[in-house]
Amino acid sequence: MKIRLALLLALIFSVASTASSSAAGDRHALVIGNAKYPDADAPLKEPINDARDVADELKRDGFKLEIGENLTGDAMRRAFDRLYAEIKPGDVALLFFSGYGIQSNRQSYMIPVDAQIWQESDVRRDGISLETVLGEINSRGAGVKIALLDASRRNPYERRFRSFSAGLAPVVAPNGTLVMYSAALSSVVSDSGGDHSLFVQELLKEIRVPDLMAEEALNRTRVGVTRASRQEQIPWISSSLAEDFSFVPGGNPHPAAAIAALPPTEPPPSTASPAPAPSPAPAVNLPTPTAPPKVEVTPPTPTPADKPAGNNPAPAEVALADDPTIKSLTAKIDANPDDINALYRRGQVYVSKGAYKLAIKDFDDTIRLNPKDVEALNNRCWVRTVVGDLQGALKDCNEALRLRPNFVDALDSRGLLNLKAGANKNAITDFDAALKINPRLTSSLYGRGLAKQRNGAIPEGDLDIANARAMDPNIVQEFETYGVR
């Protein structure tokens, strides 16, 4: 009965949200992921996965969406023409592009997969100008214009006419525009070596928070990327928005949002003020260090950057050493064994490859150099949880939360730890605290559902799990790879 009532309420909320969206103008989005550039040594790993994840989220947020993968120049222009034709005065228009970008004559160009670039003038001939796109969208009357470019990559073209990759240029955009690049102006970053970019991982975290204004969501994304990359990657933002805009209006929750999964007697969470600090770490009856739980664990699927995971079997150390990203980071560490940024980043890459022992060693060294490094503590907590070292994991998570009481990733990690330890009430407490900060944190929502089921609250647990699966159909498989079923 509770499930039917919640679904009915979700449907009502959905109708209300649609009506509100229509009154404020429709939402349109074009999402492009370009990965297979013939001039590159190998296809990019991140753009297709990132474009699909962003597209899925925007669909849930009420956008009328078109997604394109590995588009040629003609295909990109046709896609933009279709977007322009849909826009009416007062609408919202959003562009997400992941692939290669190049600046020329102080403009930023998105590069199609069939571009033939041998000199700078070819960039302007074959590339798609961001300023031109935003100008055309504005001419159709769009009230809110948003452009998100994950295109500040080292590319195979600029070496032909420049001695360095120049990154992207500042954009001269019309009023009512919000633009974000994945890296600072005139700077480039290398791909992480994983299947998802750090930029998109952090972006998805923030745009899922109900009632959070778009500018604040992107500012939080910038902080998250900067922190996770140890200031090696600092996104750039430009805004001239003249009206409020939220990806997920808090007053009209999405049918699959975690907020609908709260028990009827609980008030909905608010993101207007910081969440209260969680209570001291609950006592957990964990196994003794000499008898850790025997859990069959396979490498997990990718998750946000502060808790990276991989979907490949743990490779041999020799094979890992040939990975370009690991090789570059190892060279930095060989030159300076106390390079804390390189150690932390290599640890993240090792986790993405399923090399958990090597990852823990790098996080050990990172924490040795800075015992107050909450991101490294959380990463080590999560990896130790996955491999079954629950005593060590609990110590790491507790320390991270002592240093940063509202650290949502550490709350989520400790919730997973408690779930694996069978401490279901404590898991619910941690997942509740995480969801009060980010009500659409799928891992916490699904974990809370499992904990509620195991604690006897079957209908409430079923509803949490149904909502989590609606938000991320792969969440069940992800938890199975953690050894949690």
- Domain ranges in the chain? 2-239, 275-481
On the question of pLDDT at 7 being above 70, the answer is no
Tokens describing residue 352: 């993405």
- Ranges of beta strands (E only) in 8-135 are 27-33, 64-69, 92-98, 101-104, 107-110, 128-129
Which residue in 443, 438, 10 sits closest to 209, CA to CA?
Answer: 438
- Averaged over 404-414, what is the pLDDT? 90
- Ranges of beta strands (E only) in 395-476 are none
pLDDT level of residue 422 (50, 70, 90 thresholds): very high
- Averaged over 300-323, what is the pLDDT? 50
What is the three-class DSSP state of 177? strand
- What's the pLDDT score for residue 414? 96
Provide the mean pLDDT of the chain. Answer: 81
- What's the pLDDT score for residue 242? 83
Q: Which of 12-26, 122-136, 147-161, 320-334 has the lowest mean pLDDT?
A: 12-26
Q: Which fold has domain 2-239?
A: Rossmann fold (3.40.50)
On the question of pLDDT at 133 being above 80, the answer is yes
Give CA–CA dist 463/241, Å, rounded.
37
Question: For residue range 152-197, what is the model confidence (pLDDT) as tens digits?
Answer: 998 889 888 886 778 899 998 899 999 999 999 988 887 766 788 9
- Averaged over 432-449, what is the pLDDT? 88
- What's the pLDDT score for residue 317? 60
* Stated pTM of the model: 0.64
Tokens describing residue 220: 């939080």
- What's the pLDDT score for residue 173? 87
Cα four-point dihedral sign 334, 338, 341, 346: positive
- What's the pLDDT score for residue 276? 44
Pairing, β 144-150 against β 27-33: unpaired
List beta partners, residue 32.
68, 97
Give CA–CA dist 129/310, Å, rounded.
35
For residue 116, how many other CB atoms are within 10 A of its CB?
11
- Given a contact cutoff of 8 angstroms between Cβ atoms, the answer to whether 411 and 445 are in contact is no
Question: For residue range 366-391, what is the model confidence (pLDDT) as tens digits?
Answer: 999 999 998 899 999 999 999 999 99
Give CA–CA dist 101/110, Å, rounded.
5
Pairing, β 236-239 against β 177-181: antiparallel
Q: Which fold has domain 275-481?
A: 1.25.40
Give CA–CA dist 421/298, Å, rounded.
18
Could you give the C-alpha distances from 387 to 48, 110, 354, 409, 450, in angstroms and in order? 30, 42, 11, 18, 20
Which residue in 472, 400, 484 sits closest to 447, CA to CA?
Answer: 484
